[in-house]
Every structure is written in structure tokens, then in C-alpha cells.
Structure 1
Amino acid sequence: MHVGTQLKARNDDDYRVFAQLGVNHICGYPPGCPESWTAETLTRYREHVESFGISLDFIPLPLNSHEISNAEYPNIMLGKSPERDREIELIQNIIRNCALAGIPAVKYNMTLLGVVSTDGEKWRGGSETRAFRYAKAVQDPPLTIAGLTDADMMWERIDYFLQRVVPVAGENEVRMALHPHDPGMPQPEGFRGVDRVLGSVEGLKQFIDLYPSPYHGLNFCQGTVTEMLDNPAEEIFDVIRYFGEREKIFNVHFRNIHGRFLDFIETYVDDGDVDMRECVNTYKEVGYPYMLMPDHVPSMSGENSKMVGFAYTYGYIKGLIDSTAD
């Protein structure tokens, strides 16, 4: 278990800073459009990252966390054939090329709503951070371009994708890590006409059971999972155990919150409701071997505020990992 990051390097100096901070494992972002990610292109990118003493452990598939009208490749989640089959073929090819290039894992989202938030709020020292207050969310908001999308429709689209892609991942020994829906919503009514089936612990259990493969698992966003719970400070440890004991956690977004289901604010890693040291102990208990990384952090004052906030979080994570070492 080690500290990692998915913060996109703006230039080579950022890679140097990662290495200087002891962040030697990353999710990186190859240059060019996904159609250009040949085995040769990905190999050159991996070698470039490694030249800074950093391991390229993940890259993203072109299924991101954007709202569907802003998605570059929307048809998989819209359920539109034959367009979705062409997008699936692209993803199959990326997975094959990752294997040839020595990149062991990919992350992805399967979402229509993207990340849903209400107005940002103040946190420690006047920093600004994301919040979601369901009671303050727009009531009767407009539907997405997907229209009314119930649980059966969502699961059909998810299953259609998995049945065609997970075998390719297995054949090429590339782990596929899905991010949960952020945040969860009441079910079955959902939000904007969409049932967020991957926004509950039960939904994530159903997801991993859809296709039995050691290469099918989760980008376990601990922050998002705590947002699903009525009592995050007590419930999160058993959720980690459930997925960790089944070896379904391929990456961890190590984030804290204050609040509960439908009513929360994101915090710094050290001042939310969840005992993050006990979380590290629990990951260790289940034998989790991969990255703990911040997904995002509160917006701080001053220059280079994003890198400062991430740097603080890297150090805190490293301290927690070291404090639980044998």
C-alpha cells in the first residue's frame, strides 16, 4: 500500500515534484486523443513517467465523470447501438494496448449525471470546498438528454458493456476499476430522471457480482462511499472489509467528509467525521496492495493552491501508512 495521485501533471516539473514528495505511483494521462493511444504511444508515455522514478499504475478510459451531454463518448451510457459498439471497440483496443505497453490498470465511470453538487461552502481557514445538500438541490430539475432512465435500463447498459469488455481485460490481465456514482441519490426516484444504481453499497455489490473476474473491480472512492452512508464514521470500515476481502478494490480515493447521505461537505483529510487512520488499518487488514490517493481537496488561498492542498494530503497519507507499518 502506497501513496499515489491522479492529479494531472501540467509539465515535467510536476512529475519532479511528485517524486520529491515521495509520490512514486500515479494515474497518468497519455497525450493525444484516445484513438491515438497505440501500444507504442502508451509505451513512450510510460517510459517518460518512469524517467522521473515514478510508476505508471493507471490511465483513464474515455468514460469520465462528466454529465452525459458533455461526455466525449456518450453512447455506451445512452444505450445507442451501433454507436456504443464502436465506442466499446475503442475501449477494448485501449485495454489491449495497455497490456502491450506494461500499464496494469485502467479507471472509468459509467454515469449520466456526472458529479452532482450544490453551492460550494467554506471550510477550515476560509478554504472553499464542495458540498451536496439534497434539500437545497434544484427541485424537479430538467431531465438529462438520456430522458427517464430507470434501474433496469441502467443495469442493461452496464451489463452490455461489461460482457464485452471484461473478457478482454481478463485475457490481457489489465484491471478495470469503476468509480461509484457521486453522490448517491434516493432510490428509485433518483435525480433528473436517472436512477443512480452505482450510488449505494448494495448497487456496488451487485456491480461486482455481474461478472466474475479478478480484473473487474472498483476505483473505491472512499469519499463517495461515505456519502452513501447514514453513519459514515461507523459504517465505512465494514464496507472496506466487504470489497477488500473479495480483492475488488483496485485503487482508493482517500477523502474525508463531514455529514451523511444526502447532506455532506468535503473536508481536509484530517478533519472530517471518519477516522482515516483506522481506515488505513482496515485496508492493511484486508491486504490491500495498491494506491491511496486524494481525488480532490479543498481550494486553498495563495499561489499554486491546488498543488499545495494535494501536497499536504500526500504527506498526511504517507504518515498514516508509516504509522501502521509493522
Structure 2
Amino acid sequence: MNRRRFLTTSGSAALALTSGASASLPLPAAAQNRPRQPSQLKLGCQSAPTTDEHLGYLARYGVRHICGYPRIGDPGGNRVYPTVDELSSMRDLAEKHRIEILCVGPHILESSYINNEKHPAIMLAQSPERDRDIEGFQNLIRNCARTGLPSIKYNMSILGVLRSGTQPGRGDELDKVWKLSEAHPDTPLTIAGPVDADAFWERITYFLDRVVPVANEYKIRLACHPQDPGVPPEGYQGVDRVLGTVDGLKRFITIRESSYHGLNFCQGTVSEMLADPKEQIYDVIRYFGERNKIFNVHFRNIRGHRNDFVEVFPDEGDVDMVRALHVYREVGYQYMLMPDHVPTAALDPHGLQSFAFCYGYIRGLMQSADYAV
């Protein structure tokens, strides 16, 4: 487009946007005669906390569905699950902002480093403590059902989220980096000690054997996040991250097969597992999506590949996010697309501006896809 035509078109667009509150730009000619086919995709977010202030921020940017984090009124910190009243209070607060809570984040099985976990027994296979914490998770399932909250996300991680540093991104942002060749853990092992694949699968299976039947009974979806990032089979800090490969995730969903047992599908983390994510990620989405095993999506992007990548804004990574969104539609995915791991900057240390950018980006893709063939 030449400069004169650009200015003329820009001026017409500005006039259309300012000529009245209801004015809008016309659709392209090819789309004008094409019926809008809205999908069931929902713009969502899992950022915390679920407070009046943060809910107001989310509502400001058109986020109407979220993962919520209930407060637990237990000064001693021994109760790991919220009561029905505590869940209802969180739900009511969100509804005040016209936001619906579609997922709940528990106070155990988070993505944090095991040495920092207040309740590590499930992942350490410590009995009888892990049975007590599993009972707490079962109570969370029951209380979510009684409160009308349909899903719970969780992690089965010992190492948390591994990154080796940061590097400058566009503008004044900082992007997080993982280069396995440059990663140097603070200690050779965590408090978990060596955990090979067999030991890790035992801990996963022990948990699923006890919670999936309760999820079936109460019809609550359990969404597990992959391990971020994957590491070589010999492990990192003595830990073989079995949920850090696509084959591992395929095995995971077959343990206690159930329509309520699936994935908190982090597209960024799964991309980090692949040798060529810009070509491979779409078939992975199809594999789990066609089996109805995707319960949430962290819709984020990376540049790079397994063992060497940088986290970036969704519009500047290797994965074609437009194509990815169409695959989610193709497989009938109907839950949230959420930003995750956004870049930060000195003037935006908590990433609120970055999240706002991602909300608009995802909303725009969703709306444009409604008119696509």
C-alpha cells in the first residue's frame, strides 16, 4: 500500500471510529456474505489473586471467565481445601464483576519448587501425610461440585518451572529463557532426592487412583499441567520429569481413563517439548483435543525448541497462533484460552500491561476466526 492510500484509508478509519459510538469498520468483502459462526472458545485468565481489585482489572479488559483462587480461613495452615462457604464467597465476588469461575486452583500441588512447598507430601510419597493431603483434594472436588465450580487445575511437579535466565525482548521487556546447556542448579538434588521415571509414575498413579473416582462421582474435571520444561531422561537435579514429553502426557491420560481426567494444556510448555514446535504443535493439539482431554489452554508462544527456548509475546513466537486457534475450534474445544508467562518490564513488574495486550490479542483472534471458512 502506498503512502497516500495508507493515509486516506487511515483517515477513513479514524472518521468511522469517531463518528459515533455505534460506528464500526465494514468487514472485508469476502467476509460480508459469510455467516458468523461463533465458537465456544472463551477468553480466560488464571492470574491471581481473586480479589475485588484484580477482578475489576480483568473485567476492564473483557475477561469474563477465569480460574479462581479461594482464600482459606485457617490460621494454622493445616487445612488444604476451601469450604463450601469460602468457595461460594469467591464465586459471588466474581459474579459481582460479571465474571464466571470455570476452574479452581488448589492450595496444594502447585507448580512451585518442592523445597519451597508447604505441603509436599504427595510428590514426596510421604505417608501418612500424602493420604491426608489427598483426602483434602477429594474434599476440594466435593466442595467444588456443591458450589457449582466445574473444574480444578493442578500440577504434579517437583522442580517447579525451570528457567536459566532472561534476555532483552522488544522495547523494554525482559523475556525468560531456558538453555539446558547453561543451567546450573543451586544443589545437586532437591529434598525429594533421586526420582527416576518408575518412582514418578508410582506417585502419579497413587494420586490418580484415589482422586479420579471422586471426580467421576461429582463430575468435576481435573486438569493437570505438563512439567515445564522437559529435561533429558537422566533427569535434572536427580528428577526425571515424566510429564515433560508428549509420550508422557499420552501415557498420563490413559491412567484411570475418565472423561473427567485430562490436561491443563499449556501450549507453551508443550511447544517446549518439541524439536520443531512451529510444525509439530498442531498435531499434538489434535491428538489430545480429539480425545476431549484438553480442559484449559495456556495460549502462549515461544521461540526455539526443546532444551533451548525463550518465552515471548504470542504474536512474535515460532508458533502460528492463528493456525493453532483454528485447530482448537476444529477439535471442538469449548473452554478457556488464557495468556500465561507474559514478559515483564521495569515499569510493568507484575505483567499487568502485558496481560492486557494478550487479552486483546486473543479476543481479536477469536472474533476474526468466527468469520473464517
TM-score by length of 1: 0.96
Asked if the contact 1:108–1:178 (Cα under 8 Å) also holds between the matched residues in 2, the reply is: yes
- Look up the match of 1:65: 111
| 2:80–2:137 Cα contact (<8 Å) kept | no
Deviates more, 1:298-307 or 1:162-171: 298-307
Residue 71 (structure 2) pairs with residue 31 (structure 1): yes
- SS of residue paired to 2:249: helix
Paired with 2:163 and 2:59, the residues of 1 have a C-alpha distance of: 33
Q: Work out the CA distance in 1 between the residues paired with 2:187 and 2:69.
A: 34
SS at match of 2:295: strand
Segment of structure 1 superposing worse, 139-148 or 230-239:
139-148
1:206 aligns with 2:263: no
1:68-147 alignment runs, 5 A limit: 68-138=114-184, 141-147=187-193
Deviations 1:247-303 (A, max 9, x none): 000000011000000000000110001100100000000000000001220003425
Partner of 2:6: none
Partner in structure 2 of residue 2 of structure 1:
42
CA drift of 1:9 comes to 3.7
DSSP-derived class of the 1:219 partner: strand
Distance 1:236 1:35 in 2: 35
Match of 2:227 among 166, 171, 181: 181
**Structure 1 letter corresponding to 2:368:** S
Identity of aligned residues (%): 52
Q: Please name the residue that 2:14 is paired with.
A: none
Q: 1:98 to 1:273 in 2, by over 3 A?
A: same
d(CA) in 2 for partners of 1:41 and 1:80?
28
After the TM superposition, which residues 290-309 of structure 1 pair with which residues of structure 2 at under 5 Å, given as runs? 290-302=335-347, 306-309=351-354
Give the drift of 1:47: 1.3
Whichever of the two has the greater Rg, that structure is 2
- Please give the alpha-carbon distance, in whole angstroms, between the structure 2 residues aligned to 1:98 and 1:10: 16
Shift of 1:135: 0.8
Distance in 1 (CA, whole Å) between partners of 2:344 and 2:51 is 21
Distance 2:320 2:257 in 1: 32
Structure 1 residue 86, shift from structure 2 partner: 0.4
**Whole-Å separation in 2 of the counterparts to 1:183 and 1:42:** 32
Q: Which of 220, 223, 233 pairs up with 2:278?
A: 233
Letter in 2 for 1:64: E
1:162 is aligned with what amino acid? L
Contact 1:255 1:294 in 2 (8 A): yes
User: Number of residue pairs matched?
Assistant: 325
Q: What is the identity, as a one-letter code, of the residue corresponding to 2:184?
A: V
Matches within 5 A, 1:256-295: 256-295=301-340
Structure 1 stretch displaced more, 25-34 or 236-245 = 25-34
> Closer, same or farther in 2 for the Cα pair 1:139/1:48, shift >3 Å?
closer
Task: For 1:171 and 1:36, locate their aligned partners in 2 and report how far apart those are by CA, in whole Å.
Answer: 18
Please state how far the C-alpha of 1:11 moved relative to its aligned partner. Answer: 4.0
Partner amino acid for 2:110?
N
CA distance in structure 2 between the aligned counterparts of 1:175 and 1:36, rounded to whole angstroms: 17
Distance 2:186 2:344 in 1: 30
Whichever residue aligns with residue 119 of structure 2, its letter is Y
The CA RMSD over aligned residues, in Å, is 1.5
Gaps of 5+ in 1: none
| Residue pair 1:140, 1:192 contacting (<8 A) in 2 also | no
Higher mean alpha-carbon deviation, 136-145 vs 235-244, is at 136-145
Q: Aligned residue for 2:25? A: none
* Counterparts of 2:114 and 2:166, CA distance in 1: 22
- Provide the secondary structure at the position in 2 that maps to 1:251: strand
